[in-house]
């Protein structure tokens, strides 16, 4: 009997403790019911602004958690999410290349850590910032991530800054994914009648936008505290600025929200592969204020704010680019070279689910599409530097990329600077492969060796390092990279064919001739106007006599 009574007391004690905890927890949780929200209404707001209707906030710790009243209008969130569920036993990564089970379990809104530098919280922004149209394109996005993107925007932006949210459903399998969301106030849904890819979809969205400022987002983001004001402020001050936030990482496995480094900017290599890189050390040393913008040579591409007239003036996007990829380089080169600038704003943070593979198909194939898009960017914007792109990506040669006449006309019309200017002023850290290699050019009589077209070698009038960029051939460190058999002779090609065996690239002097190590044959100009070949060595012959000419 005594034992039963002792047990009962223990159970009651535990229940009381749990009850107390539950009560306290309820009190600190963001309230979602209108009644609870109303109770919180009297509390103060950040920046001393008047509470806008439909949005209330409570303060907890140093964070501001918005409460949403009637935010979703007639939209039935539960039914929407329940409409598509992972079936038991299904691989949660299969359809979206992230853990769908975790995303679904998270719910449509959650508090995330304010990852900004603490000094950002005390910055002030104009009270009369212009509003923006948010443009989100998607193809078969998971309902939970898409809804979280939209809700985070509605929760964490001053309502007056959100003119509308334009969704472009890029021909997803289920039209309802988009349609149902347009029941949320401010959300509009456009559906493509066929798969267009993100580039044409964004242009379609931008063309229907009614605000003077465009904000692009991927369909699996979560925006963080005060993400929008810093970006709109910068664009309002100078409409030629194109700005992005620091892009935080949402784990594709457990959906944890992780702060990204604030010392990174966008860069690329010659194959036009985007990468994050450290801010150059001199710039880093000069940064006394961590809230200041970071100049960036390129943007990642998915999350940025741009003045709408400036977007239109600069030619929107190259709409002959398909599906995914390359448009961020094209836009970045264009913005810098045609009078604008790109920056990353450390006081704006947006989370993004980074994936390891594309969860969707590319009708023309992933590689061909990327080549087509990046070739277009290189051909229109990179001038003589495009040779490094072809050297780094030899498979791009000869692949179709359509007509670029319109884009070249645009470049002329906008009177844009040459790529050389971009290299010297915006991205001097990008090493030019030849600058190290070129120390001399091979001369024969009054002619010099140079590349023709992309990689064929020929002889032409000597003119130093100019548009045709003569190449070096220097003892056994020469830059001959590839030989190709023809019926009778071997043509000599040049380029940076990194994947070919180094042995093919080695040459050695043989008297005044130059001998290819592997074949034992010598470089010959026996057809003066045609491409150079390698034939049997006859060093005494004029067509095999070479002398180096040093380039200064
Ligand atoms: O056919 C398609 N139609 C689409 O609407 C293919 C994709 N999309 C949508 C898709 O649903 C998503 O919302 O386009 C958006 C981007 O596609 P993702 O998320 O599959 O690609 P990503 O995150 O790897 O893409 C980065 O690079 C792209 C190059 O074309 C775009 O510029 C993306 O916007 C860009 N994303 C970001 O910059 C977010 C930060 C990631 C980085 C680096
Ligand atoms: Mn993405």
The predicted model gives 155-167 an average pLDDT of 97
Taking the C-alpha atoms of residue 247 and residue 224, their distance in angstroms, rounded to an integer, is 10
Q: Is residue 395 very low, low, confident or very high in pLDDT (cuts 50, 70, 90)?
A: very high
Our answer on whether the CB atom of 266 is closer than 6 Å to any ligand 1 atom is: no
What ranges do the domains of the chain cover? 68-353, 440-550
Is 90 exceeded by the pLDDT of residue 374? yes
pLDDT at site 511: 83
Residue predicted with more confidence, 71 or 160: 160
- Are 37 and 64 in contact, with CB atoms under 8 Å apart? no
Alpha carbon nearest to ligand 1 atom 9, residue = 138
Q: Is 139 in the pocket of ligand 1 (CB under 6 A)?
A: yes
| Residue 551 binned pLDDT confidence (cut-offs 50, 70, 90) | low
Longest alpha-carbon distance in the chain: 117
- Where does 288-426 show beta strands of DSSP type E? 294-295, 304-307, 341-353
pLDDT at 465 over 80: no
Mean pLDDT of 179-191: 97
pLDDT at 507: 72
431: CA distance to ligand 1 center in Å? Answer: 27
* CATH code for the structural domain at 440-550: 2.80.10.50
Distance between Cα 189 and ligand 1 center (Å): 18
Six token digits for residue 475: 């003892």
Query: Is the per-residue pLDDT at 498 higher than 80?
Result: no
- Residues with Cβ within 8 Å of residue 299, at least 6 apart in sequence: 242, 244, 266, 328, 331, 332, 342, 344
**Per-residue pLDDT at 17:** 57
pLDDT higher than threshold 70 for residue 419: yes
422 lines ligand 1 (CB under 6 A): no
- Terminal-to-terminal C-alpha distance of the chain: 103
> Averaged over 415-432, what is the pLDDT?
96
366 pLDDT above the threshold of 60: yes
Q: How far apart are CA 433 and CA 471, in angstroms?
A: 11
Backbone angles phi, psi at 546, to 5 degrees: -130, 140
pLDDT of residue 6: 62
Ligand 1 touching residue 328 (CB < 6 A): yes
Decide yes or no: CATH 3.50.50.60 for domain 68-353: no
The span from the CA of 398 to the CA of 166, in Å, is 38
Angle, helices 366-381/327-337, rounded to nearest 10 degrees: 10
Residue 528: the pLDDT is: 62
More confident of the two residues 391 and 472: 391
Q: Which of 198, 267, 273 to mutate to test the pocket of ligand 1 (most atoms within 8 A of CB)?
A: 198
In this predicted complex, what is the ipTM?
A: 0.98
Position 477 scores a pLDDT of 35
Question: Taking residues 449-459, what's their average pLDDT?
Answer: 69
């Amino acid at each position: 009997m005594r034992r039963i009574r002792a047990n009962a007391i223990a159970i009651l004690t535990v229940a009381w403790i749990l009850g107390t905890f539950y009560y306290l927890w309820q009190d600190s949780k963001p309230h979602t019911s209108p009644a609870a929200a109303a109770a919180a209404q009297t509390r103060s707001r950040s920046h001393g602004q008047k509470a806008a209707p439909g949005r209330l906030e409570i303060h907890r710790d140093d964070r501001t958690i918005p409460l949403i009243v009637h935010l979703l209008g007639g939209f039935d969130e539960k039914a929407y999410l329940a409409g598509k569920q992972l079936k038991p036993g299904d691989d949660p990564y299969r359809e979206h290349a992230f853990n769908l089970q975790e995303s679904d379990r998270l719910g449509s809104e959650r508090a995330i850590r304010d990852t900004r530098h603490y000094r950002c919280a005390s910055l002030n922004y104009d009270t009369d910032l212009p509003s923006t149209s948010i443009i989100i394109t998607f193809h078969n996005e998971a309902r939970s991530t898409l809804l979280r993107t939209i809700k985070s925007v509605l929760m964490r932006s001053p309502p007056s800054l959100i003119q509308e949210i334009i969704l472009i459903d890029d021909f997803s399998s289920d039209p309802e994914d988009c349609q149902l969301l347009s029941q949320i106030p401010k959300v509009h849904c456009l559906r493509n009648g066929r798969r267009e890819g993100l580039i044409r979809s964004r242009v379609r969205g931008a063309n229907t936008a009614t605000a003077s400022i465009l904000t692009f987002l991927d369909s699996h983001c979560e925006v963080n505290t005060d993400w929008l004001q810093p970006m709109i402020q910068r664009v309002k001050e100078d409409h030629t600025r194109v700005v992005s936030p620091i892009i935080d990482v949402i784990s594709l496995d457990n959906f944890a929200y992780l702060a990204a480094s604030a010392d990174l900017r966008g860069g690329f290599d010659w194959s036009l592969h985007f990468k994050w890189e450290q801010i150059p050390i001199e710039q880093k040393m000069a940064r006394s204020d961590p809230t200041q913008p970071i100049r960036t040579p390129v943007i990642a591409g998915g999350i940025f704010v741009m003045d709408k007239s400036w977007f239109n003036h600069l030619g929107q996007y190259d709409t002959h680019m398909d599906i995914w990829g390359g448009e961020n380089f094209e836009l970045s080169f264009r913005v810098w070279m045609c009078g604008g600038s790109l920056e990353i704003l450390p006081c704006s943070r947006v989370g993004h689910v980074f994936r390891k593979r594309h969860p969707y198909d590319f009708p023309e194939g992933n590689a061909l599409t990327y080549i087509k898009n990046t070739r277009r960017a290189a051909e229109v914007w990179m001038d003589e530097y495009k040779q490094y792109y072809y050297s780094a990506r030899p498979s791009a040669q000869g692949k179709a990329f359509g007509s670029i006449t319109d884009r070249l006309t645009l470049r002329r019309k906008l009177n844009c600077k040459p790529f050389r200017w971009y290299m010297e002023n915006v991205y001097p850290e990008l090493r030019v492969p030849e600058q190290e290699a070129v120390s001399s050019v091979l001369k024969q009589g009054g002619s010099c060796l140079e590349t023709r077209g992309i990689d064929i070698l020929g002889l032409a009038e000597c003119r130093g390092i100019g548009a045709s960029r003569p190449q070096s051939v220097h003892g056994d460190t020469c830059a001959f990279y590839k030989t190709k058999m023809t019926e009778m002779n071997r043509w000599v090609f040049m380029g940076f064919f990194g994947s070919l065996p180094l042995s093919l690239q080695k040459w050695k002097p043989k008297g005044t001739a130059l001998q290819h190590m592997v074949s034992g044959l010598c470089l010959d100009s026996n057809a003066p106007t045609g491409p150079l070949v390698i034939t049997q060595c006859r060093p005494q012959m004029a067509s095999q006599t070479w002398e180096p000419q040093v380039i200064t």
